[in-house]
Structure 1
Amino acid sequence: MKKIININLSSRLIPIEDSAYEILRQYLDSLRRYFAKEEGAEEIVGDIESRIAEIFQEKIRKGAHCITDEDVQAIKASMGTPEQFVEEDGNTADSRQRTASEPFAPFIRPRKRFYRDPDGKVLGGVCSGLGAYFNVDPLVFRIIFAIGAVMWGGGILLYFILWFATPEAVTAAEKLEMRGERVDVNNIKAAVQEEMNSFRSRMERMGDDVRNFSEGRGKQFGRDAGSAIEGFFRGLANVIAYIAKGFFLFLAVVMLFVLVVGLIMSAVFSAVLIPVKDLLLDNGVQTMLFWPALALLVGIPILSLVAFLVRKMAGIKQQNRYAGYTLGFFWLLGVFFSVWLVVSLARDFNTRYKETETLSITQPSQGRLIVKKAESVLELDDVNLFDGNLRVVDDTVIIDDINIRVLKSETDSFAVEVVRSARGRTVAQAKAYTRLINVNMQQTDSVLYIPSGISIPRNSKYRNQQITVVIRVPVGKHILIDREVRYHYNFIRNWREEWWDDHYDWDENRQIDIRMTPGGWERTDQLEKKKEEAPAPADTANPRNEYRYRGPARQQEQNTTPIDDSSNKEAAADKKSIAMAVVSFLFLNPFKTLDPSSSQ
């Protein structure tokens, strides 16, 4: 029975037999004595201990209860002993090594492991680590990641995943494993001494600089001190610039990913965007300018960003200034084409023309006209944009831009007028677009149905076509506005004639009853409220009673006019708040209040 102890070997807890520990201790002491006069002795022995601890821990993880004498002997045969280093017969040593290390064959044979290479890294060392693992130039992997980032954007994500998931090769043993070299005492010694020589050369260069500085003349001390201070601040500026460069590089990668995704989405939805282009642009110069302007204005920045990322990932520092001048020239050309296109399109909206048509309607019975929204007969749209405000169906374009205005009639009869308007480059062109507007108003008994939109031919152009339905109501008569009408259309009104689309302004029938008075139209329930809230006569017997609290005011009863209810498909509109109603009223069509023609 052997005693088992726990030892701390290179910060790893290893259970080992007492006799095996003595063999291991003697082996490590012999290595320390052998490398005592070598440069970097502590680092060499430390890396050897780390490698031995890693192999022992792997064996324990595979199921071994503890480290035995045979395990330590196998490690000695695998890693090599000082006696073997001085032997002249290499074949005999190799034979003993293969025989003694048989139990540790899965752990000690040369194997490759993927690490990030800190010595040849450009960004995170992933590509240089892959190059060392596959024995390929790291430039190949940098180009592959750059192409992956440009083509589908996943190269960036894969690079960052490998960056954070892969450890960095820090010790000499890890760097040997990264290159697939055998991890033994000689190779560890060579790797550590190579690092020490590299560090020593850097320190020698630094020492030469210090010596040259100290051997300078006294009269140059001030100038050298100034240069040193300047170098310090230049180095500080370089550090700040490096941090900023890293930030902008990350920002460039994100922008490239967003642009690539945007281009893919644009290609997917091009079938939807092309009809919109055909509605806005004419078939002449505007269509000819659109594609070059879009390609140069958007494509040149993407191309420049891709070239920048490829240079960074490939480690190419040399830049071709003529290529930059060429790309800048073509981008400015794209800006010029875009400005030309915008100016040309703005001129097509320069002139407005409108014409008024008076419709022949049947006078409603009981002096009450009901206004409702007509049901849409279009169930399937080829193109539906801007939440249904622009629809393309077969050979027709439906524009949801209808205004309603309620005015006082100068006669004792109801009257309905339709004011068509459109814009164009000239008056004749605006007039032609106005004549193409088609609106279908219908009346059934006392109900006036307003269509959900106006229609123009598909081969026509959108030039802000709209109509205004003017309803003239005689004094003393009523008009019922359905809530769906208020929700769907724009109302042109005076500020003193305001009523809001909130829950409290609508009765149970979801309609508002408006009565025309000599001073303008007012809601019927508001008139009743004014009568109920008339001030009480002053108490002349006791003037203080006029200011005394008289209890809560009597609540107003809701006005329930027995009118057919409208469709319930807009029931969700009941939950719109007062704030949303104010915003929709102020910003739905802000230019209507500025148009002098709207008041006519």
Structure 2
Amino acid sequence: MKKVININFQGRVVPIEESAYDNLQQYIDSLRVYFANEEGRDEIINDIEGRIAELFAEVLQKGNTCITDADVESVLNSMGRPQDFDAEGVNSAEQTTAENKRNNTGSSSTSGNRLFRDENNKILGGVCSGIANYLNIDPLIIRILTAIFIGVTFIPYLVLWIAVPSTASKMIGAQRKKLYRDPDDKMIAGVCSGLSKYFGINVWIPRTLFILPFISFAFRHWHWGLFDFPSFVNFSFSPGALVIYIIFWIVLPEAKTAAEKLELRGEKVDVESIKNTIQSDMEGFKERAEKMGNDIKNKAQEFGKSFNEKSTEMGTEATNVARKTGRGLGDVIVLLFKIFAYFIIGVVVFAIVAALFALGVVFTGLMPLKNYILESGWQSIFAWGTLLFFIWVPVIGIVTFIIRKIANVKGNKNIIRYSFTALWLIGLFCFIGLMVSLRNDFRYRNNPIEQNISIQQPSKGYLEIIRGNENKFYYNNNRWFRLEPFTSIDEDSVFVRNINIRIIQSATDSFYITAVKLANGSSRTVANVNADAITFQLTQNDSTIRFNNGIAINQNNKFRNQHLIVTIAVPVGKKIKITSKNNWDDGTDNISLGFDDNWNWGWNDNGAFNWKSNVTYLMTKNGLKDLDDVSNDNDSNDTNLQESKKELQQRLEQLQKESEDLKKELNQPDSKDSNRYHYQPEAPKKTKVTANTNDSIDILQQNVTDLIRTRFAI
């Protein structure tokens, strides 16, 4: 049986065994002797006591009724003893470390075979290394499997990251990271500087991310939504960053003590590190104070004293409760923030790798076509340099980095980094040279001239345009995978699908076709030569006209944005159908290189009608009418029915009014001539008229009913 007492230790009521209290008191006394000649000794000892009080609180939170001798011994071992830092105490330090390891091993063994996240061998959250330790296998195996099956393992990884405790919770005073607000390098509340120290990045990065919403407000004020996702293309951000900053400001505690500053950086908290932190803070404070002047220093000290006095008046117990709550919420916030940050980084890295890989695949597939686009010499050299160094080197570099990170490979990272950077710079030079050279080859455009193509008028008032060749294998290329709109046709030529068809209304009663050839070149003369070299073959068999679906490009006549715009004029009252072979579309997937080819599309806007392949159209005064779409007839029938119903309804109302007038005239005899109807030879005739009127009304009502039934039936 041991005696338990309650002590007030750093503002906390701590139940502790009396023998454990004696050990703690001896430790504090040894610290006072050790730091007797150190500058700021009182603050150092006060921070050490505050750290010990925090560790005692962790022990009590686990369900212990009081602090025992073993708990005090574990806390003091984690903090380090003064003799451990003396030159004469090396042997005792080693002995203490070994004893601490035995204690930790014993505590872990008593806890059973339980799953923990490994904080000492982690890359993200320590989940993979923790599972590997639990299964007693190599962590590399778990990491590779997790990376391969990331689509399946992503959500379980996040769940384990949140739910599974870390190894730091197994032993007292273990090295860990906590997020605080940094008061030493703050501009407003120290949130950004705290994030920078926690993640080990430059402080300007989080500050830039939080300040960008205000910059974007000047550019795109209409995107000032509360939680709109930021768009890095048009400088559109939301004030959600400001809300997040305020939440961090409220939730995260400020790193006031040396132990909290060490936890913010993820460093081990012991006696020596606390001493070094306090002394460095004091040196930095002196330098800043000397620069700011004695007056500002005195005002700051007075403000600090008054603030401390007011805080003390609020009660230490309330402060401790708020501090615990803030830390608990802070741990949750930082965990969610880390998960979100790593998720965004992972998505961005994956998108970059996928985009570069896809770009590399596309360029690799187009390399067989380089002889149809590029000139021999420097352009070919620049093209290969762009493909290998500018596109594939980043892909290989990122994949290498991921593999080294997963495998935890240690080595000289600078050599690899500088090598990849140098190769990519060579690729960038090749890319710029290639773009400049191609820009010169596509700089000028030709003078377009509309040419008439003679055709025979079809005998039946119907014209069918067939695009493409009848042989469906004519465009296949088995040597390299197929990439539209380039499609190989033989050994020395390719087809470019740059033929557009316009359908307009003919001003006469005849069909006619015109064509415009367009191309670029290094000069106006070269552009005209490239345009004249475009071949357009057209064959007609009465109402059927067939022509190729692309422009032939060979190695002598390089691709220079050759386009062919075919205009078909259709007379009013005649039909046209455009049939595409080989599953080729309406010709909208054109290819162009350079930035001076927008003028090509001006030929498509003047009076042309939209059309679809394999559909029969009738040219009307209002444009093309789809004869294969029954909705047009239904709409016309609906309109006629509505008009007929309206006319019949008006006629019915008119006849009903006339019938009412006749009935009133028959039922009201004239009082001035009482003998007027004594003799009624015309009575049968009047009765007949009334009957005929009633019959007409019934017939009209029946017609209206039939029309309504017909409308619903349709």
Instruction: Compute the TM-score of the two structures, normalised by the length of structure 1.
Output: 0.46
Higher strand share: 1
Instruction: Compute the TM-score of the two structures, normalised by the length of structure 2.
Output: 0.40
